């Protein structure tokens, strides 16, 4: 989404006008039935309308003015509730319209079976097709780079103008349809059929077409329906009771009482709160696959973070070749180059670049037929076999086991030198030739600035942070201390990440996980909240239930805050809605029974003008409180990190006590105005 859409005002003219039109469309009973509380209000409004159309049948010919007032107020109550939902949906539709402009039908340069380029429409591309994308071309569909490196402008999706580097191999190989190549040329393997692309999913989600009610929302909806049924039975049984004590109750008054008793405030705003919560996440450039994921983020207890690219910048580059044992630096450098010659990962390329900067070059032609051994999470090493000679590089412990398996010995100074590198916060990679370890590669990485403060913020939220890394324990401990995480797991494999997540979940905790690589996919799928990076692999994005378009792994903190904000907003407005019913009881009930039971006048401590004025004032307040709370429902309650108990006390004080006091003031002020006409 572009920055203009992200910063779009809540009450933009076109959105408000469309929301007003949709408010009337939503009066359709088939649509209103999705919201049982407001459907009851609509039924009451319809009955009041019938009373106006057939006054003699209902015997209200002498109370036409009162009945008209009740009908108008009820009608606007429904419109206000529909407007809140339509406004929330309208913001999503505006985002979708912006994204649809990005999703243009473009020409793609597809490679046919003969390896020749043929121009086809992007709508004709299918999974597995390979396309060439050159400078100035739009990427025709979602895919992974299989050859080359390019600078890509993703502003159409993320709103950020600075281009990003994408390359074959590693965890930064995926590209999104609609983005633009601004330099170089790449070959891309298409990974999504038309209609199933990342952009298609975004459009569907922000339009609200695939929004499903979350478990918390369904539970609250059940509570609201139960309260509505209880009060419906109360009002129905009130009619014979009133007749018994000699009070003649008008049907319009009973309908007004019912509408004021049932939780219309939260009933009218509930859907808008959920839609707005999804919208706030999207405005942070995070695509949530479901509202359930957003809510789960608000209840997170533990956060698992990958070190590389999350806590550190992730650009681990070779900085030095260090010989061990009796080997020379030249031997270590040569073995490092040969083990990295066909390694397309950023680390592998950095080894070649470092060797070149030191004046060492090698002609790759003689090694074209050599067997390349790619890096695997299980072996944690890679290399090349050349005419019987075996070159490997990888984690120190993995190379040690590998060499010992071949009958080789471990150099005496290997541990000391690797510990020195780890102590500096770097990552040591061991290099071997045959069954002999000849040296170490010093990979440098840097902790991102401000990480310690952000982890302190998470700690205040009561969230435990665990760093997972493939580094040795000494390097991991150094980075963990510098970053300020609560715990770390060194030399971790994908299985270790899943084990940690399951252990935390077994204790009843909700776990969040960030990742960008294919090896992170199983853990992302296992976590309650999996946040994948847009720059990461297709496998990671498909496994997660959230995708960060900006590829900023620390954004999980904002996601957690938004999740907490969503839960707090719903809880606070529910508390306010139920609390403000108290004032309505004191306004309507004395007005209904004072004539027959004069002693009930004592309950009229608000000193309202008349029974009619009291009922209309309570009904008007019940209606206008919905639009007054729309900005709060849409923006959400501001969240500040604090213990759950303190947060509960704060909200009960503001929205519980405030929900009791505000209606007394509001109804009294409205009564003063209504009293001038009644």
Domain CATH code at residue 346: 3.40.1110.10
Place of tokens 């859907």: 271
**Which of 527, 549, 571 represents a domain boundary (last residue)?**
549
Structure tokens at 380: 């944690």
Q: Single out the residue of 276, 366, 121 nearest to residue 631, CA to CA.
A: 276
The stretch 660-665 carries a mean pLDDT of: 89
Question: Which is nearest to 248 in space by CA: 569, 533, 596, 635?
Answer: 596
Structure tokens, 53: 């159309």
Catalytic residue among 129, 142, 171, 306: 306
Task: State residue 194 phi and psi, 5-degree precision.
Answer: -55, 140
Q: Where are the alpha helices (DSSP H) in 10-54?
A: 13-25, 29-32, 36-53
Q: Which letter does DSSP use for residue 137 in this model?
A: P
Is 210 in the same domain as 82? yes
User: What average pLDDT does the chain have?
Assistant: 83
Determine the average pLDDT of the residues in 534-544.
Answer: 78
Q: Please state the length of the chain.
A: 678
The mean per-residue pLDDT over the stretch 239-244 comes to: 79
The string over 273-288, giving b where at least 16 C-beta atoms fall within 10 Å of a residue's C-beta and e elsewhere, is bbbbbbbbbbbbbbbb
User: Same structural domain for residues 655 and 624?
Assistant: yes
Which of 325-329, 346-350, 423-427, 535-539 has the least mean pLDDT? 535-539
Lowest average pLDDT, out of 90-104, 210-224, 570-584, goes to 90-104
Residue 336 and residue 403 share a domain: yes
pLDDT given for residue 3 in this prediction: 38
- Answer whether residue 120 is part of any domain: no
Residue 303 and residue 415 share a domain: no
The domain containing residue 363 runs over which residues? 316-444
pLDDT at residue 348 in the model: 86
198 belongs to a structural domain: no
Q: Please choose, from the candidates 103, 82, 73, the residue with its C-alpha nearest in 3D space to the C-alpha of residue 198.
A: 103
- Looking at the fold, whether 381 and 407 belong to one and the same domain comes out as yes
More confident residue, 617 or 298: 617
Which residues lie below 8 Å from residue 16, measured CB to CB, with a gap of 6+?
87, 90
Q: What is the pLDDT of residues 401-410, one digit of tens each?
A: 999 999 999 9
Residue matched to tokens 């994908």? 494
Residue 115 domain-assigned (yes or no): no
Q: What pLDDT, on a 0 to 100 scale, did the predictor assign at position 538?
A: 74
- Say which range, 37-46, 265-274, 461-470, 586-595, has the weakest mean pLDDT: 586-595
| Range with the poorest average pLDDT among 159-173, 341-355, 573-587 | 159-173
Q: How confident is the model at residue 199 (pLDDT cuts 50, 70, 90)?
A: low
In the numeric block, which tokens belong to residue 101?
A: 């402009």
Instruction: Say which CATH number the domain at 176 has.
Output: 2.70.150.10
Which of the pair, 99 or 599, is modelled with greater confidence? 599
Would strands 317-323 and 436-444 be described as parallel, antiparallel, or unpaired? Answer: antiparallel
Q: What is the pLDDT of residue 207?
A: 58
- Give the pLDDT of residue 451: 82
Residues with Cβ within 8 Å of 528's Cβ and at least 6 positions away in sequence, in order, are 296, 300, 505, 510, 511, 512
Q: Which residues are annotated as a binding site?
A: 343, 347, 375-382, 393, 516, 520
Is 438 or 567 the better-scoring residue by pLDDT?
438
Residue carrying structure tokens 């299918």: 126
Residue 244: how many CA atoms within 13 Å on its side-chain side?
5
Residue 455 in contact with residue 482, Cβ under 8 Å? no
How high is the pLDDT of residue 169?
A: 72
Question: Using CA atoms, how far apart are residues 61 and 349, in angstroms rounded to an integer?
Answer: 89
**pLDDT score recorded for residue 315:** 65
- Which residue from 175, 176, 240, 208 is spatially nearest to 92, judged by alpha carbons? 208
Query: 54: which 2 tokens?
Result: 């057939």
Examine the pLDDT at 328 and tell me if it is beyond 90: yes
Is the pLDDT assigned to residue 23 strictly greater than 60? Answer: yes
Give the model confidence (pLDDT) of 79-131 as tens digits: 999 998 888 777 666 666 666 665 556 788 998 888 888 888 888 888 889 99
Q: Which of 422, 444, 466 is the last residue of a domain?
A: 444
Cα(180)–Cα(133) distance, integer angstroms: 9
In angstroms, the CA 19 to CA 23 distance is 6
> How much is the pLDDT for 391?
93
Q: Is 137 a catalytic residue?
A: no
The reply to whether 101 falls in a domain is no
Strands 186-190 and 130-133: antiparallel
pLDDT at 425 over 60: yes
Bridge partner residues of 427 (DSSP): 443
Comparing 534 with 171, which gets the higher pLDDT? Answer: 534
Are 581 and 670 contained in the same domain?
yes
In a domain, 117, yes or no: no
pLDDT for position 392: 93
Residue 642 in tokens: 């604090």
Q: What does the block give as tokens for 631?
A: 């900005």
600 Cβ contact list (under 8 Å, min separation 6): 589, 590, 593, 594
Task: Quote the pTM value.
Answer: 0.66
> Do 433 and 461 share a domain, yes or no?
no
271 within a domain of the structure (yes/no) = yes
What's the domain count of the chain? 4
Domain boundary at 444, 471, 505, which? Answer: 444
Does 155 reside within a domain? yes
One domain, residues 534 and 587:
no
Would you state the pLDDT for residue 493? 79
Residues 678/613, Cβ–Cβ less than 8 Å: yes
* Alpha-carbon torsion angle 400, 403, 407, 409, nearest 10: -50
Torsion (CA) 188, 194, 198, 204 in degrees, nearest 10: 170
Percent of the chain with pLDDT over 70: 89
* DSSP SS3 for 180: strand
Report helix angle 451-460 to 473-483, nearest 10: 70
Q: Cβ distance 589 to 254 under 8 Å? A: no
Residues tagged in the binding site annotation for Mg(2+): 516, 520
Q: Are residues 484 and 590 in the same domain?
A: no
**Which residues, listed in sequence order, are joined to residue 165 by a DSSP beta bridge?**
151
> Per-residue pLDDT for 624 more than 90?
yes
- Specify whether 236 is located in the same domain as 167: no
Based on the domain organization, do 76 and 216 belong to the same domain? yes
Structure tokens at 554: 């620390």
List C-alpha distances in Å: 122 to 107, 193, 535: 6, 10, 22
- pLDDT above 50 for 507: yes
User: Beta strands 130-133 and 107-111: pairing type?
Assistant: antiparallel
Residues 331 and 384 in one domain: yes
Using alpha carbons, select from 237, 164, 203, 238 the residue that is nearest to residue 533: 164
Number of helices and strands in the chain (H, E): 26, 21
Share of the chain above pLDDT 90, in %: 23
Does residue 111 belong to any structural domain of this protein?
A: no
CATH code, 489: 3.40.50.1000
Q: How many CB atoms lie within 10 A of CB 28?
A: 10
């Amino acid at each position: 989404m572009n920055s203009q859409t992200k910063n779009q005002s809540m009450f933009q003219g076109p959105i408000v006008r469309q929301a007003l039109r949709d408010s009337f469309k939503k009066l359709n009973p088939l649509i209103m039935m999705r919201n049982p509380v407001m459907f009851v209000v609509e039924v009451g409004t319809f009955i009041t309308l019938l009373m106006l159309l057939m006054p003699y049948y209902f015997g209200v010919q002498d109370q036409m003015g009162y009945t008209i007032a009740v009908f108008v107020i009820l009608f606007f109550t429904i419109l206000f509730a529909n407007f809140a939902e339509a406004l929330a949906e309208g913001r999503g539709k505006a985002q979708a319209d912006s994204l649809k402009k990005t999703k243009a039908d473009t020409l793609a340069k597809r490679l046919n079976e003969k390896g020749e380029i043929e121009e086809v429409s992007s709508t004709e591309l299918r999974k597995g097709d390979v396309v060439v994308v050159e400078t100035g071309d739009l990427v025709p569909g979602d895919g992974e780079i299989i050859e080359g490196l390019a600078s890509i402008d993703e502003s159409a999706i993320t709103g950020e103008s600075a281009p990003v580097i994408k390359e074959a191999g590693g965890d930064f190989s995926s590209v999104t349809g609609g983005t633009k190549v601004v330099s170089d040329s790449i070959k891309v393997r298409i990974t999504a059929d038309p209609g199933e692309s990342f952009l298609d999913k975004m459009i569907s989600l922000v339009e609200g077409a695939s929004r499903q009610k979350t478990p918390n929302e369904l539970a609250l909806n059940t509570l609201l329906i139960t309260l509505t049924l209880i009060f419906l039975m109360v009002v129905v049984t009130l009619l014979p009771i009133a007749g018994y004590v000699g009070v003649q109750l008008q049907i319009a008054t009973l309908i007004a009482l019912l509408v004021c008793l049932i939780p219309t405030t939260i009933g009218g705003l509930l859907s808008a709160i959920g839609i707005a919560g999804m919208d706030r996440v999207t405005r942070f450039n995070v695509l949530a696959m479901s509202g359930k994921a957003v809510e789960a983020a608000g209840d997170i207890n533990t956060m698992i973070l990958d070190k590389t690219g999350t806590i550190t910048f992730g650009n681990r580059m070779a900085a030095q070749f260090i010989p061990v044992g009796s080997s020379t630096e030249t031997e270590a450098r040569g073995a490092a180059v040969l083990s990295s010659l066909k390694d397309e990962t950023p680390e592998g390329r950095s080894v070649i670049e470092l060797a070149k900067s030191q004046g060492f070059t090698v002609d790759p032609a003689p090694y074209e037929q050599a067997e390349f051994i790619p890096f695997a999470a299980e072996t944690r090493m890679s290399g090349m076999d050349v005419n019987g000679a075996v070159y490997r590089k990888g984690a120190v412990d993995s190379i040690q086991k590998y060499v010992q398996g071949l009958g080789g010995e471990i150099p005496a100074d290997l541990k000391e030198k690797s510990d020195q590198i780890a102590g500096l916060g770097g990552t040591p990679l061991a290099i071997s030739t045959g069954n002999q370890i000849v040296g170490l590669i010093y990979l440098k990485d840097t902790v991102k600035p401000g990480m310690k403060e952000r982890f302190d913020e998470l700690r205040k939220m009561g969230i435990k942070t665990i760093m997972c890394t493939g580094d040795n324990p000494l390097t991991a401990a150094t980075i963990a201390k510098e970053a300020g995480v609560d715990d770390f797991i060194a030399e971790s494999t994908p299985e270790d990440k899943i084990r940690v997540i399951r252990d935390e979940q077994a204790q009843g905790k909700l776990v969040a996980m960030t990742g960008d690589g294919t090896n992170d996919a199983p853990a992302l799928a296992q976590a309650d909240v999996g946040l994948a990076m847009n720059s990461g692999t297709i496998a990671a994005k498909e496994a997660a239930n959230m995708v960060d378009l900006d590829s900023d792994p620390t954004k999980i903190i904002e996601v957690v805050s938004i999740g907490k904000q969503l839960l707090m907003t719903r809880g606070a407005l529910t508390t306010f809605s139920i609390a403000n019913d108290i004032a309505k009881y004191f306004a309507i009930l004395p007005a209904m029974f004072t004539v027959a039971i004069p002693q009930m006048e004592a309950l009229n401590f608000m000193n309202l003008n008349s029974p009619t004025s009291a009922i209309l004032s309570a009904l008007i307040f019940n209606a206008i409180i919905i639009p007054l709370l729309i900005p709060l429902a849409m923006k959400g309650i501001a969240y500040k990190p604090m213990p759950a108990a303190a947060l509960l006390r704060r909200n009960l004080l503001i929205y519980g006590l405030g929900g009791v006091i505000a209606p007394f003031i509001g109804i009294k002020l409205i009564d003063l105005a209504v009293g001038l006409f009644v």
